[in-house]
Amino acid sequence: MSAFVAHGGRLSAACARYGGMADDWLDLSTGINPVPWPGAETYVPDWRALPDPAALARLEAVAASHFEADPASCAAVPGSESGLRALGEVLRQFPLARGPLTYSTYAKAFGSAANGAPGPTVSVLTNPNNPDGTLQTRTEVLAALDRQEAEGGWLIVDEAFADAHMGVSVAGEVREGRRLVVTRSFGKFFGLAGLRLGFVLAPPAILDALRRLHGDWPLSSAAIDLGLAAYADTDWIAQAGQKLPRCAQALDTLLARHGLTAQGASPLFRLVRTDRAASLFETLAQAHILTRPFEGHPQLLRFGLPGSDHALARLEVALTRWSCDG
């Protein structure tokens, strides 16, 4: 499974090892909404003009409204991963505090984890966490912020999956004088990860430094246009917020029929723990179903949501084969 532990979505590697074309695969290796916002299907970009700075500012204001945050604290970035990498440069004097299993991006962005040496740190709190889906309350997150500020450090709250959890975000707490940064992802909830659109909410000095790193045109015109339209589609946002938990429950039920207990509060993915994770990954891959393993954690496997009844039935067949082999 070592070729698939860095990121989800590695269909080229899966095809090379297990055969088939990308369209033959059911990709459950990501936490991306399998039923994307439909407006992108009919959008025709104008590639002739440079991105409009006024449109970019409108996008940041609309996104901030969606996050219930101050527009002045919000900067659009070419994907939240890119935003985190840039934050690693801006806050490079702060070592990364150790934390639970989560994104490998944090260590790559901020360097080696702190080894216990005294001094302030950057702590990254992912809410809900990936891959275990642990969801912390606003009270718990703000308590973590108080601890970091008392030590002179910074708290970065990665809310990549927070769109599915109303009332949890602390984006509205970002302001000058607080050592709090929040990152948000567009592609996961809206199912358009290839657009590479994300946001960083931070005090003014941090935003100024980020904007210098990303330059005058951090986003394409297409990303700006689609982001504006998607955040304005409040009906779709509400419907997706209701549908995703039902889809997650259907996945939970299916996994349980095969002795697998789903873990996590995020409706966009589920984590299972089993001593047979390697054989489960292999059996599913032989059926052209890709899941997400994790380096150093051979008992863990993460499942994204099947996007249809047909996809759910396909997973059922493969899981039945695995159960019988066991």
109 and 175 both lie in a single domain: yes
Specify the pLDDT at position 102: 84
- Examine residue 198 and state whether it is found in any structural domain, yes or no: yes
Give the 3-state secondary structure of residue 300: strand
SS3 content of the chain, % helix, strand, coil (to 5): 45, 15, 40
272: which DSSP letter? E
Average pLDDT on 169-196 reads: 97
311 and 173 both lie in a single domain: no
269 and 199 both lie in a single domain: no
Specify the pLDDT at position 236: 98
Give the 3-state secondary structure of residue 199: strand
The pair of three-digit structure tokens given for residue 253, joined into one six-digit string: 């039920």
- Examine residue 250 and state whether it is found in any structural domain, yes or no: yes
pLDDT confidence bin for 112, thresholds 50/70/90 = low
Specify the pLDDT at position 105: 86
Q: What is the pLDDT of residues 114-166, one digit of tens each?
A: 455 678 999 999 999 999 999 999 999 999 999 999 999 999 999 999 999 98
Q: Of the candidates 193, 215, 232, which is a domain's last residue? A: 232
pLDDT of residue 250 exceeding 70, the answer is yes
- Examine residue 225 and state whether it is found in any structural domain, yes or no: yes
299 and 260 both lie in a single domain: yes
Q: Of the candidates 203, 232, 261, which is a domain's last residue? A: 232
Average pLDDT on 95-118 reads: 77
Q: How many domains does the chain have?
A: 2
205 and 122 both lie in a single domain: yes
311 and 225 both lie in a single domain: no
How much of the chain, in percent, has pLDDT values that exceed 70? 97
- Examine residue 175 and state whether it is found in any structural domain, yes or no: yes
Domain containing 29 — which CATH number? 3.90.1150.10
Nearest CA among 320, 278, 282 for reference residue 299: 278
- Examine residue 195 and state whether it is found in any structural domain, yes or no: yes
The overall pTM is greater than 0.75: yes
- Examine residue 2 and state whether it is found in any structural domain, yes or no: no
Range of the domain at 178: 43-232
pLDDT of residue 272 exceeding 60, the answer is yes
71 and 129 both lie in a single domain: yes
214 and 118 both lie in a single domain: yes
Nearest CA among 192, 197, 141 for reference residue 165: 141
pLDDT confidence bin for 103, thresholds 50/70/90 = confident
144 and 244 both lie in a single domain: no
Q: Are 282 and 298 in contact (CB under 8 A)?
A: no
- Examine residue 3 and state whether it is found in any structural domain, yes or no: no
Q: Of the candidates 232, 247, 275, which is a domain's last residue? A: 232
Q: What is the pLDDT of residues 287-325, one digit of tens each?
A: 999 999 998 899 999 999 999 999 999 999 999 999 998
How much of the chain, in percent, has pLDDT values that exceed 90? 88
Specify the pLDDT at position 34: 97
pLDDT confidence bin for 7, thresholds 50/70/90 = confident
Specify the pLDDT at position 117: 60
179 and 314 both lie in a single domain: no
91 and 200 both lie in a single domain: yes
- For tokens 């440069």, what's the residue? 89
60 and 184 both lie in a single domain: yes
Average pLDDT on 68-81 reads: 97
